[in-house]
A and B are shown apart, each in its own frame.
Chain A
Amino acid sequence: MNRTSSPPSVEIFHAKNRENNFFSWIATVDHKRIGILYLLTAFFFFGVGGLEALVMRLQLMKPNNNLLSPDTYDQLFTMHGTTMIFLVVMPTLIGFANYFVPLMIGAKDMAFPRLNAMGYWFLPFGGLLLHFSLLAGGAPSVGWFSYAPLSETPFASSPGVDYWILALFALGIGSIATAINLIATVLCLRAPGMSIRRLPLFTWMVFINSFLLMLAIPALNAAIIMLFIDRQLDAHFFLPSHGGSAILWQHFFWTFGHPEVYIMVLPAFGIISEVIPVFSRKPIFGYEFVAASTVAIALLSFGVWAHHMFAVGLGQPMDIFFAAASMLIAVPTGVKIFNWSATLWGGSIRMTTSMLFAVAFLLQFTIGGLSGVTFAVVPIDWQVTDTYYVVAHFHYVLFGGSLFGVFAGIYYWFPKMTGRLLSESIGKVHFWLTVIGFNMAFFVQHFLGLMGMTRRVYTYPDLPGWELLNMISTVGAFLLGISVLVLVWNIVISLRRGAIVGGNPWNAWTLEWATSSPPAKHNFDQLPPLHGRRPLWDLAHPENRDEPDASREKLKETKMDKNKIGMMCFIASEGFFFIMLLIAYIFYNFNQLTNPGSQWLNPIKTGLFTFCLLSSSVTYWLAEKKLETGSQKGFLLWLAATLALGGAFMAGQGMEYWELFQKGLRAGTNLFSASFFMVTGLHGLHVLIGLVCLLIVLGAALAGDFKNGKTAMVKTVGLYWHFVDVVWIAVFTTIYIVGVRT
């Protein structure tokens, strides 16, 4: 703030008013407030998505109902799915992660507080974009996985799908930003003694989950960018009628989609792994197994997407391998279930509402998991695909699993966040209503699915038994609706009249309970000593510590640079994105015998500009060297050279585009032109961003920012710039060397 100017007269600039002002919530970079904002926004959208579901259940209450038109129904289930996944489950879990990860590892805040705020604000922005479609001619009506070619212009001409794409893109950026932030936080900001081996399981799972987010979302981004090019620039990536491939959409989507399933459940596993031990008064059984199985799940989740596509007809070998891999992923998940059950075994269990939700989670998630394994059996999958059996399965996983975990988390952490307990008696009502409503709504759908009721059809014929089962399901759904109202009531009442609690109402052991409730802005006045996985237990029972052997504590934690970690994560994410784009390029161009258009590419001319780009990496490296030796002038000189070479590359690409335009090549001309412009254009965009970053570095250098040796910015931008060059090597090799046929 500029101190020389006259004292600001606006009220919010006074520290006292700044604390609890409405604007202070908008401008906040405090991880706890951002966490709460995430939770509140997600809760709002939970209401929206829930109402959508209730309207659908009203329509399905009786056969041949005409409460809703088919198109309205399509819009509703699309919005319901998209909302619940991207605007409810993911942000809720990210919100908890935001609030509790820094607390659990004894940090003051996230690694990048402002990036954190940006990540959050993409959520309401994405939500608005998605719902803006309602004003712009109708919501998307193609299902949450937007299968091509149904989602292409000829079949979905309203701009709903376009808004869906933009919304997902915005939400994806926010999620990746938060994921990178969480990884950097866990790696770089742990308190002394909080080694990775001792991370609370919630933090560990959020950490692993962040890698999933970081690597899975680029696949979705690549797919939706291609769809967007199809819809806006008349390309035909996914239109089989013009040589495109609808199946590629499915591959790309599920490359994202299956890890997404675990993205939505791993943090819930983490919550359960915190709640069950605390209310069983036992440390978790087999910490190492729970932690390691998380890694196994995360890795396997990338290799099983094709089981969503058994009905496509990928061929027998493909089916067999993916069936085997899909069954395997049940093993680490099963390991976790056994560990949680074994933690309960012999414990002195306190059946608080939080614990009730955790136990219900165990049972319901097991049901959902088992019905999930049945899909790995290919013939069964063929039989039940696109029926209500699938609907029942994923609601058992996502509602009976994830959301029950979230509810357990709400009851467990509400006192920490507000300083007041949620009412246990209303909580029990909430719990039983939820369990009964949920199982009524979704258990019967297993039978409906096996009887052949197809999902996503707005009504059904009057077949024996169907009306009764659907009626049960609708009544259950409305019980669920009431249960949410009970939760809201509980929160409102408890915020005013709930019992005021101290720092650690549950006698829990992890660090977030070592501070006041709610925590002060700086989180901790003083951290307890960290000798094990349960610091508060060790503090209370110094004679009976978890890791009594203090002599083995030769912790030699290397200090990691958060800027470097953050940039490396971003690069990994972007690298995956470009891998997906190059796969698309290879898919569309290498298998075709003719390559119309690629004969106009001039590898020698482009090679020249490639040389410019590659040498710009060298000049940047030289600039960094100069900075290290303290030569400000040399640094500026080499930096300017880098900028010039980067600019030359962009000019070269511009010239190439101009020539191709002159020859009549447009994005929509054919698959070559579409994929060529997509890959090189997106790379060019990254070069442009790099150039802007370099200009910022130049500006900072001219302002004398690096004279005191704080060169983190130079190094971080350097990493990005080198990455852009490496991507170009891959792009150039693929398109200009291997891809050109004469």
Chain B
Amino acid sequence: MTLRQLLLSTWDWNLLLIAGCIAALFFYAILCKLKFSGKSVFFINGVVLFFVALDSPISFLAKGTLFSAHMIQHLLLVLMIPPLLLLGLPAPSHRPILSLASWIKHPLAAWVSGAGAMWFWHIPAICDAAASNEFIHTLQTFSLLFLGILFWRPIVGPHIEERLSSLTGILYLFTACIACTLLGIWISFSTLSVCPVFMRPEDPSVSPLIQGWGLTPALDQQIGGLLMWVPTCLVYLGAILFLLYRFYRQPGKVVSFPSKEKRKK
């Protein structure tokens, strides 16, 4: 297989996925009553990115060939797509679309789902299972997306009053960055294989190509770990700067925790 073939012929064109994406856009159009705004760009980009993450060669390589490709997919699903979707959502009307239990809305639960999404799916046995079993892979995909949405709700969620105050939000993101850094350090420096499936790719036709790049499994894992470590923290840093921007833009107005009186309502 050549690089050209890899980039062109490994797209999945899964009908279910395409239908799902179109349905999401359709649903979105209904939700904002066909009044598209600048915000819509975020949502549409989120859906496109979701399609790319699950349909492109990234997805092909992530299924047991390249650990670093898996990591890109993983990070797109937790870190990039959820905030884009959330930013694109119109301000909610009175009736919540998705009513979540109150404990799941708690920032601590949200934080744990974000960090947990990173750690849980990199326990060696579970990581292996997800990369080799189609069902578990799908489960992984949707759990990552769901956990990612939970994680980003307190920062960019559509319910303004449920967002964290900017300075608390910075703490929230900073600690999340530490959690990912530790995982990234472990993956990069571990001499053991985090996800042994990637040591022996199922599709032998790709192996010569990858070996041609000089990518050994150890190197591949190191890149994966570094992806979890450096770019991830840059995303959090970007979000922190965004929060600071929001903080300084609203002088005198305090965006605070949902106070107890509001919850009673």
Decide if A and B are genuine partners. Answer: yes
A296 and B256 contact, CB distance less than 8 A: no
Q: Is A324 an interface residue (CB 8 A)?
A: yes
The stretch of A274-282, A363-371, A414-422, A548-556 in contact with B is: A548-556
A556 and B254 contact, CB distance less than 8 A: yes
A579 and B174 contact, CB distance less than 8 A: no
Q: How far is the CB of B262 from chain A (nearest CB, A)?
A: 14
Q: How far is the CA of A295 from the CA of B219 in the complex (A)?
A: 33
Q: Is B185 an interface residue (CB 8 A)?
A: yes
A591 and B190 contact, CB distance less than 8 A: yes
Q: How far is the CA of A630 from the CA of B31 in the complex (A)?
A: 54
* Chain A 385-443 interface residues, beta-carbon cutoff 8 Å to B: none
Q: How far is the CA of A2 from the CA of B124 in the complex (A)?
A: 66
Q: Is B241 an interface residue (CB 8 A)?
A: yes
Q: Is A590 an interface residue (CB 8 A)?
A: yes
Nearest CB in chain B to that of A550: its residue: B252
A553 and B185 contact, CB distance less than 8 A: no
Q: Is A292 an interface residue (CB 8 A)?
A: yes
B222 and A315 contact, CB distance less than 8 A: yes
* Chain B 206-265 interface residues, beta-carbon cutoff 8 Å to A: 219, 222-223, 226, 229-230, 233-234, 237, 240-241, 244-245, 247-248, 251-254, 256
Q: Which residues of B contact A322 (CB under 8 A)?
A: 230
Q: Is A452 an interface residue (CB 8 A)?
A: no
Q: Is A291 an interface residue (CB 8 A)?
A: yes
Q: Is A288 an interface residue (CB 8 A)?
A: yes
Q: When the two chains form the complex, which single residue of B182, B189, B241, B251 contacts A552, counting CB atoms closer than 8 Å?
A: B251
* Chain A 550-607 interface residues, beta-carbon cutoff 8 Å to B: 552-558, 579, 583, 586-587, 590-591
Instruction: Indicate whether A591 sits within 8 Å of B191 (C-beta atoms), given known contacts A291-B244, A292-B244.
Output: yes
Q: How far is the CB of A446 from chain B (nearest CB, A)?
A: 30
Q: Which residues of B contact A196 (CB under 8 A)?
A: 167
Nearest CB in chain B to that of A555: its residue: B252
* Secondary structure dominating the interface of B: helix
Q: When the two chains form the complex, which single residue of A547, A552, A557, A587 contacts B253, counting CB atoms closer than 8 Å?
A: A552
Q: When the two chains form the complex, which single residue of A197, A303, A547, A554 contacts B233, counting CB atoms closer than 8 Å?
A: A303
- Total contacts A-B at CB 8 Å: 75
Q: How far is the CA of A553 from the CA of B253 in the complex (A)?
A: 8
A296 and B241 contact, CB distance less than 8 A: yes
Q: How far is the CA of A317 from the CA of B251 in the complex (A)?
A: 43
Q: Which residues of A contact B185 (CB under 8 A)?
A: 583
Instruction: Indicate whether A299 sits within 8 Å of B174 (C-beta atoms), given known contacts A288-B248, A315-B219.
Output: yes
**What is the size, in residues, of chain A's interface with B at 8 Å between Cβ atoms?**
36
Q: How far is the CA of A376 from the CA of B253 in the complex (A)?
A: 41
Q: Which residues of B contact A316 (CB under 8 A)?
A: 219
Q: Which residues of B contact A44 (CB under 8 A)?
A: none
A554 and B222 contact, CB distance less than 8 A: no
B244 and A288 contact, CB distance less than 8 A: yes
Q: How far is the CA of A270 from the CA of B229 in the complex (A)?
A: 30
Q: Is B140 an interface residue (CB 8 A)?
A: no
Q: Which residues of A contact B167 (CB under 8 A)?
A: 196
Q: When the two chains form the complex, which single residue of A197, A296, A324, A557 contacts B230, counting CB atoms closer than 8 Å?
A: A324
Q: How far is the CB of B176 from chain A (nearest CB, A)?
A: 12
Q: How far is the CB of A390 from chain B (nearest CB, A)?
A: 24
Q: Is B192 an interface residue (CB 8 A)?
A: yes
Q: When the two chains form the complex, which single residue of B191, B192, B240 contacts A299, counting CB atoms closer than 8 Å?
A: B240
Q: Which residues of A contact B188 (CB under 8 A)?
A: 318
Q: Which residues of A contact B252 (CB under 8 A)?
A: 195, 552-555
Q: Is B65 an interface residue (CB 8 A)?
A: no
Binary contact track B140-184/A, C-beta < 8 Å → 1, others 0: 000000000000000000000000000100100010010001100
A579 and B240 contact, CB distance less than 8 A: no
A291 and B248 contact, CB distance less than 8 A: yes
Q: How far is the CA of A558 from the CA of B165 in the complex (A)?
A: 12
Q: Which residues of B contact A288 (CB under 8 A)?
A: 244-245, 248
Nearest CB in chain B to that of A554: its residue: B252
Q: Is A54 an interface residue (CB 8 A)?
A: no
Q: When the two chains form the complex, which single residue of A328, A587, A591 contacts B192, counting CB atoms closer than 8 Å?
A: A591
Q: Which residues of A contact B223 (CB under 8 A)?
A: 317
Q: Is B51 an interface residue (CB 8 A)?
A: no
B226 and A295 contact, CB distance less than 8 A: no
Nearest CB in chain A to that of B222: its residue: A317
Q: How far is the CB of B210 from chain A (nearest CB, A)?
A: 15
Q: Which residues of A contact B226 (CB under 8 A)?
A: 317-318, 321
B241 and A317 contact, CB distance less than 8 A: no
B186 and A586 contact, CB distance less than 8 A: yes
Q: How far is the CA of A346 from the CA of B230 in the complex (A)?
A: 40
A587 and B248 contact, CB distance less than 8 A: no
Interface residues of A (CB under 8 A from B): 195-197, 287-288, 291-292, 295-296, 299-300, 302-303, 315-318, 321-322, 324-325, 328, 547, 552-558, 579, 583, 586-587, 590-591
5 contacts between A and B (CB under 8 A): A288-B244, A303-B181, A321-B230, A322-B230, A325-B234
Additional A-B contacts beyond A318-B222, A321-B229 (16; CB < 8 A): A197-B251, A288-B245, A291-B244, A292-B244, A292-B248, A295-B240, A299-B237, A303-B229, A315-B222, A317-B222, A318-B226, A554-B253, A554-B254, A555-B254, A590-B190, A591-B191
Kindly list the 4 A-B residue pairs having the minimum CB-CB distance in the complex, ordered from nearest. A552-B252, A288-B248, A292-B244, A321-B226
